[in-house]
């Protein structure tokens, strides 16, 4: 099962919005087939493992699968049919699939076919792997990854707003690899104004993320790199009700999609944006700042994962922004506690990564 989980993780960035799934076939104590869901719309892990068995007899074999086999017709036929046809004797499943068209149905079909089914082996690890998939199903909201680069004294930029470059080249390369598996990259209007970013993946990755600017008043400049490249790489500008119609029209005419977020107040509008991205089945989104926007995500309880790049630089300044702004919490007991923390050296920079997805990473 651990090998199946390692296989499943290879689908990260390509399998979404489907879950990452791995499968290992074992016959008489020997592995005869391995497979994983390599790409959305492609063969599922069970069928890939059966194909990898290269004609070896599968009758009586055991299939170790990280997620309950599907039992419905989607982009591919049911995996339960393939396992039953292969005459496997036993299926060991890490976790039941919470997707409504499966959710125990695959297990029932396998049992009805006389196959022994066991559920729960390394369940916690399997659930952690597919936490973004589970969150999208349960809440209709994508998995939110907060990312920032800061100095050792905790600053995103100088007091004048200058920030290029805090991190080193290795760290920036790491960011582009991260971007390459995202469905969307999100920034606030001030970040778009000060940094004039492209928010593209260089070199191109597995996905081409939607570029999102949270810009209540539709102030994004028509001459910005984002707007100028909107016909090549999609841009969504999230505005509030009552945003200037002429400015919205200019952005639309330039190729941007203007989405009006309903609700009163920043938090309600941000939640409306997340709900819209969820409707589009965007699984992973990367929030790159600025401090005000990250502060809103924190207060909304919508930071699920963090990538913090730290450079050995000191710039000082009480007016220099820190990574997360807003009002923050009043008591240390309210602080968002990261788990599964790892520290990765990148030359003289350091990447601290941790999870904050609550029940989606634990249960």
Instruction: Calculate the average pLDDT of the chain.
Output: 94
Query: 246 and 225 in one domain?
Result: yes
The pLDDT assigned to 194 comes to 87
Structural domain that includes position 57: 2-129
Examine the fold and report which residue of 79, 98, 129 is the final residue of a domain before the chain moves on.
Answer: 129
Query: 112 and 143 in one domain?
Result: no
Q: Name the token pair of 87.
A: 């005459």
Q: Where are the beta strands (DSSP E) in 69-180?
A: 90-93, 116-119, 143-151
Query: 204 and 286 in one domain?
Result: yes
Confidence band, pLDDT 50/70/90 cuts, at residue 73:
confident
pLDDT over 90 (residue 343):
yes
pLDDT in tens, 284-340: 999 998 899 999 999 999 999 999 999 999 999 999 989 999 888 899 999 999 999
Query: 140 and 125 in one domain?
Result: no
Query: 109 and 57 in one domain?
Result: yes
Q: Name the token pair of 145.
A: 């990854």
Query: 110 and 200 in one domain?
Result: no
Determine contact, residues 240/216, Cβ cutoff 8 Å.
yes
- Domain with residue 71: its CATH number is 3.40.140.10
- Domain with residue 186: its CATH number is 3.40.430.10
CA terminus-to-terminus distance, the chain: 18
pLDDT in tens, 110-151: 999 999 999 999 999 999 999 999 999 999 999 999 999 999
Query: 155 and 93 in one domain?
Result: no
Confidence band, pLDDT 50/70/90 cuts, at residue 359:
low
Query: 120 and 177 in one domain?
Result: no
> Token pair 């330039």 is at which residue?
254
CA neighbours within 13 Å on the CB side: how many for 283?
A: 20
Query: 227 and 282 in one domain?
Result: yes
Determine contact, residues 340/305, Cβ cutoff 8 Å.
no
Annotated catalytic, 217? no
Examine the fold and report which residue of 129, 161, 194 is the final residue of a domain before the chain moves on.
Answer: 129
Examine the fold and report which residue of 129, 149, 176 is the final residue of a domain before the chain moves on.
Answer: 129
Pairing of strands 116-119, 284-287: unpaired
Query: 194 and 138 in one domain?
Result: yes
The pLDDT assigned to 279 comes to 97
Determine contact, residues 229/198, Cβ cutoff 8 Å.
yes
The pLDDT assigned to 290 comes to 87
Sequence ranges of the binding site for Zn(2+): 44, 70, 79
Sequence ranges of the binding site for NADP(+): 149, 165, 191, 195, 199
Determine contact, residues 1/66, Cβ cutoff 8 Å.
yes
> How many separate domains does the chain show?
2
Q: What's this model's pTM, rounded to 2 decimal places?
A: 0.93
Query: 174 and 79 in one domain?
Result: no
The pLDDT assigned to 76 comes to 79
Q: Name the token pair of 13.
A: 């960035």
Sequence ranges of the binding site: 44, 70, 79, 149, 163, 165, 179, 191, 195, 199, 202, 288
pLDDT in tens, 242-276: 999 999 999 999 999 999 999 888 999 999 999 99
pLDDT over 70 (residue 363):
no
Query: 154 and 98 in one domain?
Result: no
Confidence band, pLDDT 50/70/90 cuts, at residue 162:
confident
* Residues of the chain above pLDDT 90, percent: 86
pLDDT over 70 (residue 357):
no
Short-list 118, 122, 106, CA closest to 1: 122
β-strand partners of 31: 26
Short-list 290, 231, 278, CA closest to 256: 231
Surface-to-core class of residue 282, CB atoms within 10 Å of its CB (0-12 exposed, 13-18 middle, 19+ buried)? buried
Measure the CA–CA gap between 224 and 243, rounded to whole angstroms: 19
Catalytic residue, chosen from 3, 16, 46, 257, is 46
Determine contact, residues 166/349, Cβ cutoff 8 Å.
no
- Mean pLDDT confidence for 172-192: 95
């Amino acid at each position: 099962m651990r090998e199946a989980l390692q296989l499943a993780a290879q689908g990260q960035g390509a399998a979404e919005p489907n879950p990452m799934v791995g499968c290992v076939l074992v016959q008489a104590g020997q592995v005869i087939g391995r497979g994983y869901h390599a790409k959305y719309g492609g063969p599922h892990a069970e069928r890939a493992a059966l194909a990898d068995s290269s004609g070896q007899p599968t009758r009586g074999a055991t299939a170790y699968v990280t997620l309950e086999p599907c039992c419905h017709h989607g982009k591919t036929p049911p995996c339960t049919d393939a396992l039953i046809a292969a005459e496997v004797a036993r299926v060991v499943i890490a976790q039941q699939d919470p997707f409504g068209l499966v959710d125990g149905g695959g297990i029932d079909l396998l049992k009805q076919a006389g196959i022994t089914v066991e559920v729960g082996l390394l369940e916690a690890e399997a659930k952690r792997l597919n936490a973004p998939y589970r969150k999208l199903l349960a809440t209709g909201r994508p998995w939110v990854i907060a990312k920032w680069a800061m100095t050792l004294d905790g600053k995103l930029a100088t007091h004048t707003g200058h920030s290029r470059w805090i991190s080193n080249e290795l760290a920036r390369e790491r960011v582009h690899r991260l971007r390459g598996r995202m469905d969307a990259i999100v920034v606030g209007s001030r970040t778009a104004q000060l940094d004039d970013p492209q928010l593209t993946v260089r070199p191109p990755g597995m996905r081409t993320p939607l570029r999102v600017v949270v810009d209540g008043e539709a102030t994004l400049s028509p001459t910005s790199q984002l707007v100028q490249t909107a016909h090549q790489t999609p841009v969504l500008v999230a505005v509030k009700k009552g945003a200037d119609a002429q400015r919205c029209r200019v952005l639309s005419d330039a190729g941007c999609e203007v989405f009006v977020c309903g609700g009163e107040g920043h938090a309600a509008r941000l939640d409306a944006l997340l709900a819209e991205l969820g409707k589009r089945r965007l699984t992973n989104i990367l929030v790159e700042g600025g401090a005000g926007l990250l502060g809103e995500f924190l207060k909304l309880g919508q930071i699920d994962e963090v990538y913090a790049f730290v450079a050995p630089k000191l710039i000082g300044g009480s007016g220099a922004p820190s990574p997360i702004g807003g009002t923050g919490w009043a008591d240390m007991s309210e602080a968002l506690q990261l788990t599964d923390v790892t520290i990765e050296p990148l030359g003289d920079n350091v990447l601290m990564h941790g999870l904050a997805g609550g029940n989606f990473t634990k249960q």
